[in-house]
């Protein structure tokens, strides 16, 4: 639009097309790197179908020293230099969290940082203003950067990495052994739980990997991988080659095919199709066809390799076979079918024919993807299963067979171990508030505001100091006797005692403060107090304190977070906010000490 010269326009168009083609090549290379299926597989020599792991989201370094020091000075009125050690410790934890090891220690590190973010949020992120810090994270699959001021984006990204790390741990297990299979099942279930928790508790993520559609797809993919491990577990446990065990394996394989078909449908949806790597979509489709083939293969083996049932075994086999097919096969009655070897062979042959067709379809789809073609192990698994079905077919095929092989009905999917979506257990990693010295969260938080601290000199009168104290950490002045020493010195109902004779009392118990007051002589006592703004009524203060002491694994109130997030971005549509499903824990185990009930710990001094 900047020129009318056609020659210039043609030159620019040519340059742009060159740049675009380069970008496309880079995008394909990046996709190949980020979606690599074989990176985190186990090194075992046994052959098992590869699983799909996720790469971790990357993040930029973050310098919080100046913003946090400024906030400590302005909001808490403390000497910020005294908190440099805590700030640096937090930044070191964040730095370590960027490259977690692929084991239990790595998971604990991510969980520790996630829990520490609860305290950071409560201490430094007020509902009315931002810290002015941007959190930068890169998309797990495309590498596209996103940034937000909302701490919720940081929390969500850490939670995503928790799920991704579980997928890598699951993919690395040696699934040829029972312990390895159980660990893989556990890891993929926990990955599904992390992604599901993220989907239910965060919304409007700025990056595609954390969108509701992508997370739904990831949860379903993890569930499918669990189901695949369950099938492998069944093949290990089914040592006996009896009829019922083979039917179970066929139904288990049909269940795996069922869940992978659902994943493929989810990956084909408009918002996900262009985003999910082609190698993933192809792998899922290959697995769907492969397990459908296996279900028909095991059905054929049950019919052809197992002897006809005796009269005693017949009722049990009849019952199992009634629920085996989606529609009953055409031909003779069930009793005749199960007891006549020739009828069994006919139906077995029909199942094998379908198995071979599905094996060939799996191999055809596999051949369409350049990345999967490079994976020798997958090629080996598909080829072995195909040859096994062909060999069985030629074994039971007779030259004198003049009947046309019928269409085998599909097998009814059924599993003996339903996948469980395991939500993250945040309380398993206990953390202590790094900024503990600022005081109890019930009062000393970013949400609360208080008037500047006052130093009051108090003399003991004939009737004592003339006030009522209640609660712990910090102790509250619940009542002031009119005309008493406390009233004359300027103490008010609702004041919190933060120091006695220069000794910090923010975390002191009721009895400790009382002891300090009682040990004063005739010269009197210096008391440091603060008053919360808008909370002069002690009952309101109590309620507020109790609410503020919820644990770090919980989400904060919707109102506060939506209000905070609106401050953190120009457009509400691009926000990452907590959802309305938030719950509050009734009791904190993380340092915010709620007040005891009114009257329990109240006394006159």
Pick from 11-15, 404-408, 563-567: least confident: 563-567
Say if CB 141 and CB 453 are below 8 A apart.
no
Residues 202 and 214 in one domain: yes
Residue 568 has pLDDT above 80, yes or no: no
Which domain covers residue 331, as residue numbers?
Answer: 238-428
| Sequence-separated (6 or more) residues with CB below 8 Å from residue 396 | 300, 304, 345, 348, 349, 352
Q: Which residue has the higher pLDDT, 556 or 94?
A: 94
Say if CB 365 and CB 286 are below 8 A apart.
yes
Q: Which residue has the higher pLDDT, 26 or 6?
A: 6
- Is 401 within the bounds of a domain? yes
Say if CB 87 and CB 68 are below 8 A apart.
yes
Residues 118 and 186 in one domain: yes
What is the predicted pLDDT for the residue at 38?
52
Which of the listed residues 498, 533, 568 is the one where a domain comes to its end?
533
What is the predicted pLDDT for the residue at 404?
64
| Sequence-separated (6 or more) residues with CB below 8 Å from residue 299 | 246, 247, 250, 324, 348, 351, 408, 411
Which of the listed residues 493, 513, 533 is the one where a domain comes to its end?
533
Task: Give 528-555 pLDDT, tens digit per residue.
Answer: 999 888 755 444 444 434 333 333 333 3
- Torsion angle (degrees, nearest 10) of CA 395, 398, 404, 409: -30
Residue 488 has pLDDT above 70, yes or no: yes
What is the predicted pLDDT for the residue at 481?
87
Q: Which of 1-10, 242-251, 283-292, 508-517 has the highest mean pLDDT?
A: 283-292
- Is 318 within the bounds of a domain? yes
CA angle 581-270-222, nearest 5°?
Answer: 55
Q: Work out the mean pLDDT of the chain and round it to a whole number.
A: 82
Residue 198 has pLDDT above 60, yes or no: yes
Residues 350 and 488 in one domain: no
Residue 299: pLDDT band with limits 50, 70, 90: very high
Q: Which residue has the higher pLDDT, 289 or 489?
A: 289
The total number of residues written for the chain in this structure: 605
The whole-number average pLDDT for the span 174-203 is 94
What is the predicted pLDDT for the residue at 331?
73
Residues 189 and 218 in one domain: yes
Task: Give 428-482 pLDDT, tens digit per residue.
Answer: 999 999 999 999 998 999 998 988 888 988 888 777 788 888 888 899 998 888 8
The CB density around residue 142, as the number of other CB atoms within 10 Å, is: 17
- Is 598 within the bounds of a domain? no
Residue 30: pLDDT band with limits 50, 70, 90: low
Query: In CATH, what number is assigned to the domain containing residue 488?
Result: 2.30.42.10
Which of the listed residues 222, 254, 281 is the one where a domain comes to its end?
222
Residue 295 has pLDDT above 80, yes or no: yes
Task: Give 308-338 pLDDT, tens digit per residue.
Answer: 878 888 888 888 888 888 888 777 777 777 7
Residues 40 and 173 in one domain: yes
Residues 453 and 472 in one domain: yes
What is the predicted pLDDT for the residue at 522?
77
The whole-number average pLDDT for the span 127-151 is 89
Residues 154 and 137 in one domain: yes
Residues 215 and 243 in one domain: no
Total domains present in the chain: 4
- Is 599 within the bounds of a domain? no
HEC states along 153-169? HHHHHHHHHHHHHHHHH
Residue 523: pLDDT band with limits 50, 70, 90: confident
Residue 581 has pLDDT above 70, yes or no: no
What is the predicted pLDDT for the residue at 285?
96
* Bridge partner residues of 475 (DSSP): 497
What is the predicted pLDDT for the residue at 399?
67
Residue 584 has pLDDT above 70, yes or no: no
Residue 252: pLDDT band with limits 50, 70, 90: very high
Residues 291 and 350 in one domain: yes
Task: Cite the DSSP H helix spans in 521-600.
Answer: 538-548, 558-568
Rg over CA atoms, the chain: 33
What is the predicted pLDDT for the residue at 518?
83
Residues 19 and 119 in one domain: no
Identify the sign of the CA torsion 564, 568, 574, 575.
negative
Helix, strand or coil, per DSSP, at residue 312: coil
Pick from 152-156, 158-162, 166-170, 511-515: least confident: 511-515
Query: In CATH, what number is assigned to the domain containing residue 105?
Result: 1.25.40.280
Euclidean distance between CA atoms 475 and 534, whole angstroms: 18
Q: Which residue has the higher pLDDT, 593 or 255?
A: 255
Residue 145 has pLDDT above 60, yes or no: yes
Residues 328 and 362 in one domain: yes
The whole-number average pLDDT for the span 235-256 is 88
- Is 551 within the bounds of a domain? no
What is the predicted pLDDT for the residue at 47?
62
Closest CA to 258 of 54, 388, 415, 50: 415
Query: Percentage of the chain surpassing pLDDT 70?
Result: 82
Task: Cite the DSSP H helix spans in 268-368.
Answer: 270-273, 278-305, 314-322, 334-339, 341-367
- Is 557 within the bounds of a domain? no
Residue 166: pLDDT band with limits 50, 70, 90: very high
- Is 434 within the bounds of a domain? no
Pick from 27-31, 196-200, 225-229, 282-286: least confident: 27-31
- Is 541 within the bounds of a domain? no
The whole-number average pLDDT for the span 87-112 is 94
Query: Percentage of the chain surpassing pLDDT 90?
Result: 46
Residues 378 and 422 in one domain: yes
């Amino acid at each position: 639009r900047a020129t009318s010269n056609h020659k210039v326009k043609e030159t620019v168009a040519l340059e742009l097309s060159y740049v675009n083609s380069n970008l496309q090549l880079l995008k394909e290379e990046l996709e190949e790197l980020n979606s690599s299926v074989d990176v985190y597989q186990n090194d075992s020599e046994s052959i098992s179908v590869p699983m799909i792991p996720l790469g971790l989201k990357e993040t930029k370094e973050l310098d919080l020293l100046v913003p946090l020091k400024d906030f400590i000075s302005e909001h808490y009125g403390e000497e910020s230099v005294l908190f440099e050690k805590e700030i640096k410790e937090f930044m070191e934890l964040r730095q370590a969290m960027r490259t977690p090891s692929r084991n239990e220690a790595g998971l604990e590190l991510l969980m520790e940082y996630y829990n520490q973010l609860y305290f950071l949020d409560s201490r430094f992120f007020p509902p009315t203003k931002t810290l002015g810090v941007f959190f930068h994270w890169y998309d797990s699959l495309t590498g596209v950067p996103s940034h937000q001021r909302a701490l919720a984006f940081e929390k969500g990204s850490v939670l995503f990495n928790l799920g991704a790390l579980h997928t890598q741990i699951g993919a690395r297990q040696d699934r040829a052994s029972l312990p390895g299979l159980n660990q893989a099942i556990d890891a993929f279930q926990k990955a599904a739980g992390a992604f599901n928790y993220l989907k239910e508790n965060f919304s409007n993520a700025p990056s595609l990997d954390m969108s509701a559609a992508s997370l739904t797809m990831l949860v379903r993919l993890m569930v499918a991988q669990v189901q695949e491990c369950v099938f492998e577990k069944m093949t290990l446990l089914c040592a006996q080659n009896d009829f019922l065990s083979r039917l179970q394996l066929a139904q288990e394989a049909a269940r795996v095919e069922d869940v992978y078909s659902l994943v493929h449908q989810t990956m084909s949806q408009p918002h996900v199709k262009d985003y999910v790597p082609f190698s993933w979509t192809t792998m899922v489709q290959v697995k769907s066809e492969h397990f459908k083939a296996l279900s028909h293969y095991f059905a054929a083996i049950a019919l052809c390799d197992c002897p006809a049932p005796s009269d005693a075994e017949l009722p049990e086999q009849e019952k199992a076979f009634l629920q085996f097919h989606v529609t009953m096969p055409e031909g003779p009655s069930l009793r005749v079918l199960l007891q006549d070897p020739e009828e069994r062979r006919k139906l077995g042959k029909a199942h094998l024919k379908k198995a071979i067709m599905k094996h060939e379809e799996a191999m055809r789809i596999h051949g369409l993807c350049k990345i999967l073609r490079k994976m020798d192990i997958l090629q080996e698994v598909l080829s072995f299963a195909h040859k096994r079905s062909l060999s069985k077919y030629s074994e039971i095929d007779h030259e004198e067979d003049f009947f046309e092989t019928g269409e085998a009905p599909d097998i009814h999917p059924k599993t003996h171990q339903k996948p469980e979506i395991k939500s993250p257990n945040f309380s398993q990693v206990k953390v202590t508030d790094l900024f503990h010295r600022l005081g109890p969260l019930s009062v000393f938080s970013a949400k609360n505001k208080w008037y500047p601290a006052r130093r009051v000199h108090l003399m003991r009168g004939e009737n004592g100091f003339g006030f009522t104290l209640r609660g712990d950490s910090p102790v509250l002045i619940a009542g002031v006797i009119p005309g008493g020493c406390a009233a004359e010195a300027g103490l008010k109902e609702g004041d919190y005692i933060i120091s006695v004779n220069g000794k910090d009392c923010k975390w002191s118990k009721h009895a400790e403060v009382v002891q300090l007051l009682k040990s004063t002589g005739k010269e009197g006592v210096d008391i440091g107090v603060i008053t919360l703004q808008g909370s002069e009524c002690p009952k309101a203060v109590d309620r507020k304190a109790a609410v503020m002491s919820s644990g770090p694994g919980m989400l904060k109130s919707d109102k506060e977070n939506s209000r905070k997030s609106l401050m953190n971005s120009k457009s509400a549509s691009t926000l990452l906010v907590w959802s309305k499903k938030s719950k509050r824990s009734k009791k904190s185990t993380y340092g915010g000490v709620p007040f005891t009930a009114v009257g329990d710990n109240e006394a006159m001094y």
